[in-house]
């Protein structure tokens, strides 16, 4: 850092909002559990809606349970500048994931209003519904709904308590019947900007408070169910067993080995959820269901790994006399940030006295879905030891302030200096 940046946002207000939101769904001292479409999620949405209105926005909840705040610009026909992220969390999550992107965006609008600046285009701040995907095993629900990308039977997906997404939406206060009358207007949104914690260790290793994102890895999510045959754990010889859990274990080990074939590649593979039936100490497992999360910024490499993994599943199943089914839950290609937005971020960071490192994102974000309808850019904020999806997740107030300041400067430049379409 060559100079001390002049901070234009209200730092104390921003961090008070972060603190206050973290009290909703609080677990332990620092953790958060605000599952999508839960009562805690609704309480959080209502609080954030209040802050949007205090910042001068008109706010509403759309049919997909997205919270949308809008600040009117001079030209209502100009493509919208959209800012935002999400406020839903993992069941054992932290205070900053998603939240700083929404609250930082509100602070951007509040700062524009407080300084008497009127944008050329409308600015919308969005808290998207169910980015995380942990409750119904498919994420980016709200942003895909808003952009017309929902898939068949999404409303029938169930959580672990047997509640469907349809039922959860209704309990939240939204009517899925309104989906039928909703049509996304192509070209309505010109640019999307998202502020987010890195959720990785790169920025900390580089001693950099903020970074510019170059692109988002494409996630492939699969759910595999393997079926064998239950038997007494004490009497069935090992050579005669059809143990579904043993087959699953071999696949987990194989996945771990596959994704490390290229040592310096950013490829990652994870089995994060597993259920066993009948789940008894002295019964050979008959059925196992588990999830696979495979990600890479290189689509060809990810596709090749998928082919190898499917071959492993087939061979293991044959070896142990198992049958299996595979359900594809998510399949997204890598998406790269717009070059002109990255250049704006570099220039505005330079005005602040920074030259942020540029890095890809392994986690997906709402930006991934937005990239299919408009140009997008992302700012990462350093987080302690790269920890996320954990109550120990931490980003310092100073780093969040710098990220929000860069978001403000870039959004202001787009909204005030480039009337009409921002596309390049």
Show binding-site residues for Zn(2+). 86, 97, 132, 196, 389
Give the span between the Cα atoms of 349 and 351, in whole angstroms. 5
Q: Is the Cα torsion angle 304, 321, 237, 224 positive or negative in sign?
A: positive
DSSP string, 277-342: ES--TTB---EEEEEEEEEES-HHHHHHHHHHHHHHHHHHHHHHT-EEEEEEEEE---EEPPHHHH
Give the residue ranges of the annotated binding site. Answer: 86, 97, 132, 196, 389
Name the residue among 143, 148, 200, 109 with its Cα closest to residue 385.
Answer: 200
Element (H, E) at 14: helix 11-22
Q: What are the residues whose beta carbons fall under 8 Å from the beta carbon of 377, sequence distance 6 or more?
A: 191, 192, 193, 194, 212, 213, 337, 338, 341, 342, 344, 345, 410
Number of neighbours of residue 8 by Cβ within 10 angstroms: 17
Phi-psi region of 356 (alpha: psi -120 to 50; beta: other; left: phi over 0): beta
In the block, residue with structure tokens 């220039």? 347
How far, in Å, CA of 380 to CA of 356, rounded?
10
Q: What is the DSSP letter of 380?
A: E
CA 214 to chain CA centroid, Å, is: 16
Cα–Cα distance list, 101 to 51, 93, 418 (Å): 14, 16, 23
For residue 48, what are the CA distances in angstroms to 42, 65, 86, 114?
Answer: 10, 13, 11, 18
- Beta strand pairing call for 287-296 and 268-270: antiparallel
The one-character DSSP state at 74 is S
How far CA 229 is from CA of 23, 285, 325, in Å, comes to: 47, 7, 16
């Amino acid at each position: 850092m060559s100079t001390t940046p002049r901070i234009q946002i209200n730092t104390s207000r921003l961090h008070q909002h972060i603190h206050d939101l973290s009290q909703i769904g609080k677990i332990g001292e620092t953790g958060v559990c605000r599952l999508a479409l839960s009562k805690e999620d609704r309480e959080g949405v209502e609080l954030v809606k209040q802050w949007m209105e205090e910042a001068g926005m008109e706010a509403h909840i759309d049919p997909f349970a997205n919270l949308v705040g809008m600040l009117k610009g001079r030209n209502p026909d100009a493509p919208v500048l959209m800012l935002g992220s999400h406020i839903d969390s993992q069941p054992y999550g932290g205070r900053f994931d998603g939240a700083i992107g929404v609250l930082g965006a509100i602070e951007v609008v509040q700062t524009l209003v407080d300084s008497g600046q009127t944008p050329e285009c409308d600015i919308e701040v969005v808290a998207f519904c169910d980015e995380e995907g942990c409750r119904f095993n498919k994420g980016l629900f709200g942003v895909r709904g808003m952009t017309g990308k929902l898939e068949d039977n999404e409303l029938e997906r169930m959580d672990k308590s047997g509640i469907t997404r349809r039922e959860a939406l209704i309990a939240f206060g939204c009517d899925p019947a309104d989906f039928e009358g909703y049509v996304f207007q192509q070209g309505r949104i010109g640019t999307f900007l998202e502020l987010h914690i890195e959720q990785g260790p790169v920025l900390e290793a580089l001693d950099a408070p903020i970074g510019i994102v170059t692109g988002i890895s494409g996630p492939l999510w699969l759910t595999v169910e393997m079926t064998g045959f239950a038997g007494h754990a004490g009497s069935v010889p090992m050579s005669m067993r059809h143990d579904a859990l043993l087959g699953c274990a071999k696949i987990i080990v194989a996945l771990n080995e596959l994704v490390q074939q290229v040592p310096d590649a950013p490829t990652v593979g994870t089995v994060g959820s597993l259920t066993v039936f009948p789940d008894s100490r002295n019964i050979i497992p008959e059925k196992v269901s588990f999830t696979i999360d495979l990600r890479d910024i290189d689509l060809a490499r990810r596709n090749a790994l998928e082919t190898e993994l499917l071959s492993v599943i087939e061979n293991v199943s044959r070896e142990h006399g198992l049958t299996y089914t595979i359900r594809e839950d998510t399949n997204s290609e890598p998406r790269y940030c717009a070059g002109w937005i990255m250049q704006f971020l570099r220039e505005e960071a330079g005005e602040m006295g920074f030259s942020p490192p540029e890095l890809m994102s392994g986690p997906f974000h709402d930006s991934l879905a937005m990239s299919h309808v408009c140009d997008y850019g992302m700012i990462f904020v350093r987080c302690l030891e790269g920890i996320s999806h954990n109550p120990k997740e931490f980003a310092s107030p100073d780093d969040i302030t710098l990220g929000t300041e860069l978001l403000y400067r870039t959004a202001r430049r787009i909204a005030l200096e480039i009337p009409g379409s921002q596309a390049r």
